[in-house]
Chains A and B, each alone.
Chain A
Amino acid sequence: RKEVEQDPGPFNVPEGATVAFNCTYSNSASQSFFWYRQDCRKEPKLLMSVYSSGNEDGRFTAQLNRASQYISLLIRDSKLSDSATYLCVVNMPDNQFYFGTGTSLTVIP
């Protein structure tokens, strides 16, 4: 069983739509959670950390549910520039990072 699982998509949504991605993790000892964005043929870049109380950054909202062991990312009012692959990343107490395979998003004009 993979440590981190994501729906690979693809998600194709019209501009202005709201889209949500989920990610589940298997190890209850996981301690830090992140969403990274990766553009085609580029490196992953930190989009936002995910905190226990949930957090928001503009159109992006991230939530953590420790009881059910999943994290989510909500994108409101999608822009064309949001088209990318979104990676769920989990950090363990041993300093190791575990990655989902990514969810592909295409925002259509």
Chain B
Amino acid sequence: DVKVTQSSRYLVKRTGEKVFLECVQDMDHENMFWYRQDPGLGLRLIYFSYDVKMKEKGDIPEGYSVSREKKERFSLILESASTNQTSMYLCASSLWLSGANVLTFGAGSRLTVL
């Protein structure tokens, strides 16, 4: 089974702090994604990457950046955390399986910004 590991399950940070969310997948997937999930808004795409050192903006990239220096690792960075970035952050990677592109999520990182 594919494993997508997010390093921190729960974080509490203060406004203005820099926050790193790490994500590692163990199946050599090329496609990796960062989403945030908020009640009533569903999952929204922040950034994605199709290859090492490659990154593309999703629907809500403002206030975030990403890094993909190695294929297995995709990091999300909040340069200066704000209270409206309090959310559940979900990392995912995808693989073509039986003719379908299947998405696997990490366990999520629940961030609270005070």
Measuring CB to CB, which residues of chain A are less than 8 angstroms from any residue of chain B?
31-32, 34, 41-46, 49, 87, 89, 91, 95-97, 99-102
Contact = CB atoms under 8 A, between A and B. Distances in A.
A95 B103 CA distance: 10
A95 B50 contact: yes
Q: For B41, B98, B105, which residue has the most chain A Cβ atoms within 10 angstroms? A: B105
B77 interface: no
Given A43-B90, A100-B42, A101-B41, A32 B100 contact: yes
Contacts of B94: 95, 97
A102 B105 contact: no
Contacts of B40: 101
The B interface is mostly helix, strand or loop, or mixed, namely strand
Nearest to B30: A95
By size class, the interface of chain B is 20 to 34
Contacts of B108: 42-43
B43 interface: yes
Interface of B: 31, 33, 40-43, 45, 48, 50, 88, 90, 94, 98-108, 110
Contacts of A41: 88, 110
Contact of B104 (A42, A46, A96, A101): A46
A42 B108 CA distance: 7
Contacts of A34: 100, 102-103
A97 B103 contact: yes
Q: For A45, A87, A99, which residue has the most chain B Cβ atoms within 10 angstroms? A: A99
B7 to A, nearest CB: 14
Contacts of B98: 49
B105 A32 contact: no
A43 to B, nearest CB: 4
Contacts of A87: 42-43
A49 B104 CA distance: 13
A43 B106 contact: yes
B90 A49 contact: no
A101 B42 contact: yes
A42 B90 CA distance: 10
